[in-house]
Amino acid sequence: MADDPFALFDAWLAEAKASEPNDPDAMALATVDANGRPSVRIVLLKGVDREMGFTFHTNSRSRKGREMAANDAVALVLHWKSLRRQVRIEGRVGAAPEADSDAYFATRGRQSRVSTWASDQSQPLASRAALEERQAAMSAKYGDGDIPRPPHWHGYCVAPRSIEFWSDGAYRLHDRRRFTRLDDGGWSEELLYP
């Protein structure tokens, strides 16, 4: 048994980066709306920090952004099919530091930065042509100049209250280990029936 779920996560992520053919940092993000209806989608893990938690970036005006603003309880799942493993994370989401959001936005490809301005994420779209026209207009607006981070595009950090590690086992005798955050900041660990 380990006493540091972040060390175990780092080791598993490193193995996934070596074996997973596509997007080893892809994770499902689950939120709930005002009526308690769940919604889930894939986002990309952009950082792991023992203090802040698990970081991703998105449009705060999107459905997930609005839902996180109204209810900060979220869940994440990373599934690595090549390793037959998954990690489940439950916790509270909050804003990443603005400087971190600026720094990450600057690393994105130019057209991805333009797309962030062109898309009203999660809003109804009249046609694909309308989106392509907005993309072209934003590309022309910024030309070869700097593309600033939109004020509605942020980093988010999920501070975990529990992290569960699942490994496939023969005859469905899977290995499940759940870490739960203690009030003093430490972790308790327990095994779970598969």
Three state DSSP letters for 94-120? EECCHHHHHHHHHHCCHHHHHHHHHCC
Q: Are 13 and 23 in contact (CB under 8 A)?
A: no
Specify the long-range contacts of residues 102-105, CB closer than 8 Å, at least 24 apart: 102/149, 104/46, 104/57, 104/155, 105/57, 105/149, 105/153
The number of distinct structural domains making up the chain is 1
| CATH number for the domain harbouring residue 103 | 2.30.110.10
Tokens of 194: 């598969």
| Domain extent at residue 64 | 5-108+151-192
What is the reported pLDDT for 21?
A: 86
Residue 122 gets the label, from left (phi > 0), alpha (psi -120 to 50) or beta, of left
Closest residue by Cα to residue 88 from 158, 173, 172 = 158
**Residues 71-127 pLDDT 10s:** 999 999 999 999 999 999 999 999 999 999 999 999 999 999 999 999 998 899 999
Q: Is residue 182 part of a domain?
A: yes
Q: Is residue 90 part of a domain?
A: yes
Residue 144 gets the label, from left (phi > 0), alpha (psi -120 to 50) or beta, of alpha
How far apart (Å, rounded) are the C-alpha atoms in residues 29 and 7?
A: 22
The H or E element that residue 131 is part of is helix 128-142
Q: Is residue 133 part of a domain?
A: no
Q: Is residue 142 part of a domain?
A: no
Question: How far is the CA of 11 from the CAs of 5, 7, 18, in angstroms?
Answer: 10, 6, 11
How far apart (Å, rounded) are the C-alpha atoms in residues 108 and 91?
A: 27
Amino acid, res. 74: V
What is the reported pLDDT for 2?
A: 59
Q: Is residue 143 part of a domain?
A: no
What is the reported pLDDT for 171?
A: 87
Tokens of 48: 């792991």
Q: Is residue 144 part of a domain?
A: no
pLDDT beneath 50: ranges in the chain? none
Q: Is residue 134 part of a domain?
A: no
How far apart (Å, rounded) are the C-alpha atoms in residues 76 and 73?
A: 11
What is the reported pLDDT for 153?
A: 94
Q: Is residue 155 part of a domain?
A: yes
